[in-house]
Amino acid sequence: MVSLCALVVFSADVSHIPPGEKNFLLLQWQTTLMDRFYSRKSKVKAKTKSTKESKVERADSLRNAPLRDYCEWKSVSCVHGKVVRVDRTDRHDEVMDIHLLPPTVGDIHLTSCSLDYALHTRALPRALKYCYVNGNRLHGSVGLRTLPEHLVRLNLSRNRLVGPVDLTELPRKLRTLDLWDNRIRQYVVFFGQLPPNLIYVEFHLIGGGNRIGELRGTSTENAKKLGKLFPGISLKHIHIE
C-alpha cells in the first residue's frame, strides 16, 4: 500500500504546481509516512462503538493538526528538509515499520527495539546504504536479491529470520552482511560473483540459531579468500564450480 501511494505521488503531473505548494505536498507526504512509522503499539481489543468513534475523532484531529516537523527530533536526521536517518535503541513502545520510511532514508539504526513483523527487502527505502536492525524480532524469509542497490552494510543478526538465503545477486557496493543468530536452516547456499569490496558474510558468530550445510557458486576469488569472506564456514564446505 505504501509503495502504491509513493507511485501515485511521483507519477502525478506536478509541473503546473507552484514550487511552494509542491514542497508542501512532499513535506506532507513525508510527515504522513513518519507518523505511521512512529505510531504507538496498541493492544488488540474488541472493537466497540466507542472505540470506533474515538478512532474517527483521532483521525479528524490529526487531519486538522499542523504538520509535525520530524527534522527537529533527536532520533531523526535531515538534509534540506528530507529525512535521511532514523536512530533508536532499546525502544519498545513504537511500531517503527521500516517499510514505511520515506525513500530518502539512507541510514537506519534500530537495535533492540522489538521490531516484530515480516521483513520485505523490496519495500526498503531505495536510498538505503546502512541498515542496522539487529536484536529484534523480524521474521520471514531473507530476500537478498531485492536489496536496495546502494546498500553498503546490513546487520540482520539476532532476529527470527529463515531461509532460503540466496547470495547470487548482492548489491555491488555491499561490504558487510550479518545474518548470525537467526533461524536459517539450509543445506546449500548459492553465491555468484561477490561484490568487489565485500568484507564478510557472517552466518555464525554468537548463538547457534543458523544451520548452514555448504556454499556453492561461481566466483573468481580463490578458496582461501572465500574462507575469510565467509567466517565460520569451513573451506571444505565452500565449493567453486
- List, for residues 29-77, the tens digit of each pLDDT value: 999 999 999 998 875 444 555 555 555 555 555 555 567 899 999 999 9
Return the minimum-mean-pLDDT range out of 44-53, 109-118, 120-129. Answer: 44-53
When pLDDT is averaged across residues 9-38 and rounded to a whole number, the result is 72
Higher pLDDT among residues 2 and 36, named by residue = 36
Residue 131 lies in a domain: yes
End-to-end CA distance of the chain: 41
Quickly state the pLDDT bin for 11 (edges 50, 70, 90).
very low
159 pLDDT more than 80: yes
Residue 17 lies in a domain: no
When pLDDT is averaged across residues 135-141 and rounded to a whole number, the result is 96
117, exposed or middle or buried, with CB in 10 Å at 0-12, 13-18, 19+?
middle
- State residue 56's pLDDT score: 55
- State residue 49's pLDDT score: 56
Residue 121 lies in a domain: yes
- State residue 209's pLDDT score: 83
Closest to 216 measured CA to CA, from 230, 206, 202: 230
Residue 103 lies in a domain: no
Higher pLDDT among residues 45 and 153, named by residue = 153
Residue 58 lies in a domain: no
Grid cell of 170 as nine digits: 548482492
Number of domains in the chain: 1
Range of the domain at 190: 116-240
Q: Determine how β-strand 107-111 pairs with β-strand 82-89.
A: parallel
Higher pLDDT among residues 220 and 79, named by residue = 79
Q: What's the pLDDT tens digit per position in 201-227?
A: 999 876 678 999 999 998 777 777 888
The answer to whether 166 and 188 are in contact (CB under 8 A) is: no
Residue 228 lies in a domain: yes
Residue 97 lies in a domain: no
The answer to whether 203 and 180 are in contact (CB under 8 A) is: yes
Quickly state the pLDDT bin for 12 (edges 50, 70, 90).
very low
- State residue 24's pLDDT score: 76
- State residue 142's pLDDT score: 93
Residue 196 lies in a domain: yes
Higher pLDDT among residues 104 and 47, named by residue = 104
Highest mean pLDDT among 1-10, 12-21, 109-118: 109-118
Closest to 184 measured CA to CA, from 154, 206, 204: 204
Give the angle subtended at the CA of 118 by the CAs of 167 and 45, to the nearest 5°. Answer: 175
